[in-house]
Amino acid sequence: MRLVLASRNYHKARELGAILAGWDVLPLETDADPPEETGSTFLENARLKARFGRDHVVRVDWVCGEDSGLVVDGLGGEPDIRSARFAGEDATDAENLDLLLARLDGIAGDGRRARYVCELVALGPDGREVSARGTLEGRIATEARGSEGFGYDPVFVPDGEKQTVAELGDAWKSESSHRARAARALADALSLPRGLK
């Protein structure tokens, strides 16, 4: 079975593929511009992406839309659905990280509490829609550390850990990230086998 992730982000497709055992998880290949993320929640944006993907794949495939981001308590929930664009529409990961750390400068304790959130919406060839959510609780470090992962991984320290996700590495992330948790919930909702390949 194939599941096409309505994203060109290979990292995200690889993370989902590590959990959905027996499925080929592929990034969407299309020259069409992705839809604007006009939803007010991760779920709404994931659904927009799934419907966009549905229009660009063979009808026998499952299509999955994904939206995820970082929610920081001390910033009133920001960057939230604008996580990838926190420092501007074309911001790099480094620019987003720098802005996050600057905005949290002088904030300590519970103000640095944060969570990664991932929403998945899968559309089946029969028109069925299944959604799943995964979260990873933690805190924001005072400086970036580590070289693996992407996005905010160099500053996110999961609960129960002393290292950032970027220090813990891709193997840890494939099993424990918010996206991995959402993928397991999706597999359960679809009654699919799951487990690391």
> Contact 158/177 with Cβ under 8 angstroms?
no
116: enclosing H helix or E strand: strand 113-123
Residue listed under structure tokens 């592929």: 26
The number of C-alpha atoms within 13 Å of 31 and in the hemisphere containing its C-beta is 0
| Separation between Cα atoms, residue 181 and residue 174, nearest integer Å | 9
pLDDT number for residue 107: 96
Domains of the chain: 2-189 (3.90.950.10)
Q: Catalytic: 80?
A: no
Instruction: Round to whole Å and give the CA distance between 125 and 61.
Output: 6
Indicate whether 134 pLDDT > 60: yes
Tokens, residue 123? 């559309």
What tokens appear for 109 in the block? 């304790």
What is this structure's pTM?
0.90
Element at 14 (helix H, strand E): helix 10-19
> Of residues 61, 67, 153, 170, which has the active-site annotation?
67
Chain centre to alpha carbon of residue 173 = 11
Residue-wise pLDDT tens digits, 30-81: 888 888 889 999 999 999 999 999 998 877 789 999 999 999 999 999 999 9
Question: Distances from the Cα of 69 to the Cαs of 36, 39, 94, in angstroms?
Answer: 16, 14, 15
